[in-house]
Structure 1
Amino acid sequence: MQYGLKQLEQIAHGLAMQFGSSCEVVIHDARTKGMEGTIVCIENGEISNRRVGDGPSHAVLEAIKSGDKELADRYGYLTRTKDGRVFRSSTIYIRDEDGNIHYVFCINSDITDLLNLQKAVAGITGSTGLTEGPAEKPDAERITTSVADLLDDLIAQAVALVGVPAGEMTKAQRCQAIKYLNDAGAFLISKAADKITDYFGISKFTLYSDLNSVKEKDAAL
């Protein structure tokens, strides 16, 4: 059965009504050019400070860069907002009859208060176990509100992977960072090259030269 946007909006509203104000439901249009304004429906968006017209998440970028290959739905993973709230999230890819991803349907349950309560109870009782609060969840994927935020995340991850500040990288290290960005789909983002060249302090000629070197090495493997 295929679902159109109106049907998905109805399902999103029903889920939000069922699970209450701590459950955010978001629909992204994966066909949005340049990934500007991918959110076409959102329920309880105040918990992540997002609204219709805001930008993509990591899940949307993954859907686009995958080229609609076999991309599995994800359930029950952790995400984090910019202000530190932690969600238990699920992502469902809505496809057309040819298997192309049209919409990304996301459900985010805010578990921040539960984690804090769990930690407080553990502190009182002296028990151990899964007592981490939001500050101890570094592996949680960050929820972004714009393409600028998403690109900032990807650049930070690239630099962390190399382990050297951008201004101190050798050409080989810079190419390693650019390879990560290319693999992550960063260059699908509108005007990504401008921000990347500014961040690494290089010209567009150098950026595209590095990018071509990376692609040539990948093709030779």
Structure 2
Amino acid sequence: MENIKDEQEFLTNLIRGIAAQFGEKCEVVLHDLSGGYESTIVAIENGYITGRKPGDCGSNLGLEVLRGTVKDGDRYNYITQTKEGKILRSSSIYIKNSQGKTIGAICINFDISDLIVAENTLRSITKYSLENEVKEVFVRDVNELMDFLLQECQKEIGKPVSHMTKEDKMKAILYLDKKGAFHIKKAGDKVCKFLDISKFTLYNYLDEARNLEE
């Protein structure tokens, strides 16, 4: 497969079949990752689980795969939460073309919230544990996603921007780079505003941080 559009009809039928098999608590998403990250979802079943629709963006995990921070991005049976607090058991499978480039993904998000609330003993069956939780955020546009990444960056550095040294800001920029933030259009503008630096300084810090990392 060279691009998602060539096989979109088949892939759409595939995600529809998966959703029908597992029912209304199962969201299944088809992403086309060959274009801008602002609008990756081309088909979705039971989108009310995460509140998304066709034309919305992907999650933070997809950014890491595109950036190359995560080499084998496929994840199976991991636990995550929505902003509303729903507990999801999820799997993400990435699609590559003949050159090995990631061009798309199929993601399955099964809402197990009712099972957990209804019966505590089901925890032993679902194996739900905060220790196994993967932080994945589901948003409708990349501005929300960028805000999330900046919040996580702030937690990673552990101090307000006003107290950050040059080294702290380089560490922050490298963190955002590894998370794939710069795949988002105009991410540089938000990062500059967040760190109170110029575009020139941003790219200098980014180059310097990458060189030190290597």
Provide the rounded CA distance (Å) in 2 between the counterparts of 1:145 and 1:26.
13
Check the 8 A contact 1:59/1:91 in 2, yes or no: no
Provide the rounded CA distance (Å) in 2 between the counterparts of 1:154 and 1:75.
23
Provide the rounded CA distance (Å) in 2 between the counterparts of 1:154 and 1:19.
32
Structure number with higher relative contact order (C-alpha < 8 Å, ≥ 6 residues apart): 2
Residue 208 of structure 1 corresponds to 203
Aligned length: 211
Structure 1: unaligned runs, 5 residues or longer:
123-127
Provide the rounded CA distance (Å) in 1 between the counterparts of 2:91 and 2:65.
14
Provide the rounded CA distance (Å) in 1 between the counterparts of 2:162 and 2:127.
35
Could you say if the C-alpha distance between residues 132 and 153 of structure 1 is closer, same or farther in structure 2, counting changes exceeding 3 Å? farther
Check the 8 A contact 1:197/1:207 in 2, yes or no: yes
Give the aligned residue type for 1:142.
V
Q: Percent identity?
A: 39
Provide the rounded CA distance (Å) in 2 between the counterparts of 1:135 and 1:183.
24
Give the aligned residue type for 1:39.
I
Residue 84 of structure 1 corresponds to 85
Could you say if the C-alpha distance between residues 217 and 87 of structure 1 is closer, same or farther in structure 2, counting changes exceeding 3 Å? same
Q: State the Cα distance separating 1:213 from its structure 2 match.
A: 1.7
Which 4+ stretches in 1 moved above 4 angstroms? 128-139
Matched, 1:152 2:153: no
Could you say if the C-alpha distance between residues 131 and 62 of structure 1 is closer, same or farther in structure 2, counting changes exceeding 3 Å? closer
Q: State the Cα distance separating 1:129 from its structure 2 match.
A: 7.0
Q: State the Cα distance separating 1:7 from its structure 2 match.
A: 0.9
Matched, 1:9 2:12: yes
Q: Which has the larger radius of gyration?
A: 1
Matched residue of 1:51: which SS?
A: coil
* 1:180 alignment partner, one of 172, 175, 178: 175
Check the 8 A contact 1:118/1:131 in 2, yes or no: no
User: Structure 2 length as normaliser, TM-score?
Assistant: 0.86
Structure 2: unaligned runs, 5 residues or longer:
none
* 1:19 alignment partner, one of 14, 22, 39: 22
Q: State the Cα distance separating 1:22 from its structure 2 match.
A: 0.4
Give the aligned residue type for 2:64.
E
Give the aligned residue type for 1:53.
G
Residue 111 of structure 2 corresponds to 110
